[in-house]
Amino acid sequence: MAGLEYGFDQFKIGDNPYNLGNGAVRSLAALGGVELSEEPNFEEIQAALFDNWGTEKTFRSNVDTFTRNLPDGLDARDTVADVVEESGIMSAISPRNIAGDKAREFDVALIGGGTYNWIERRTQLLHDLLDQGHKVGEVVMLGTFREMKSETELSTDFVRDFQNRHGEMPTEVHHLAKKGEDFHGRGLSVGLSTGDKMGFKALVEQAAPQLEGKRVLVVQNAPAGSTFADVRGVVTDENLFFATDSVRIARTDEEEADARHYQKYASAPSALARWVKAVHEINQQQ
């Protein structure tokens, strides 16, 4: 294996993204029957990583290939779970920028929308960071009007209570607004930027006036820390910081059903692919 292997809290500009995750990227590619080149390129990243395990659906459709490449008696879920856990992608990342600089004071904490559990985890992480003494001037939340009607979301008290009170389904925006009340209580100003079916990058561009020229902390849930890359271009690299919480990977059907506390094993490899792409893009732009 070429180069130094390193975790997601350690990478620096110029590092080979194929060596991310303590060798996990190359290990998972090999399970898919692909030997990665010494140096990354966009075509190979797409063909070897995204086409094989770029989404949970594509991974599950290719799981037979992974199984065929395993020694007899080994289970694909356990093997992938082992590789992902050893990669460190599920571990917490303390606030840092792409140069590896650390910081404890920020003008803005940026929280994106998503599923109920993602929003809960991101807002909890920000509370934890504040409790640890990190300083934040204001909180900016970005959300869409997607109705929260997945099976997991329908089982939550928030969704049920909102339906009972208002007679309609809540959206990400409603959930973010509710969580923002907690930060008002901590004396922080909260801004909410909304859009209809917009991706995180588009929402960031829409919120640019609230972010430009400021030191920004992107607050994310593991293993999705690479979304900080969507803020580049609006916030300079030296002022763009990111942090993630930690999460365990599911190894049983019961754990797969507990989306609040576990990451589905089949969706974790796609997060590795997105990290590789993000770091490669950063390197190409230097």
Name the percent of the chain in helix, strand, coil, to the closest 5: 50, 15, 35
* Residue 42 burial (C-beta neighbours within 10 Å; 0-12, 13-18, 19+): exposed
Gap between the Cα atoms of 91 and 247, Å rounded: 7
Q: What does the pLDDT average to over 102-109?
A: 98
What mean pLDDT is reported for the chain?
91
| Whole-number pLDDT of residue 1 | 37
Amino acid at 9: D
What confidence category does residue 268 fall into, taking pLDDT thresholds of 50, 70 and 90?
Answer: confident
pLDDT given at position 75:
82
Question: Mind listing the pLDDT tens digit for each residue in 244-267?
Answer: 999 999 999 999 889 889 998 888
All structural domains of the chain: 17-90+252-257+262-284 (no CATH), 93-245 (3.40.50.620)
Q: What is the mean pLDDT of residues 118-123?
A: 96
pTM for the structure as a whole: 0.92
| pLDDT > 70 in the chain, percent | 98
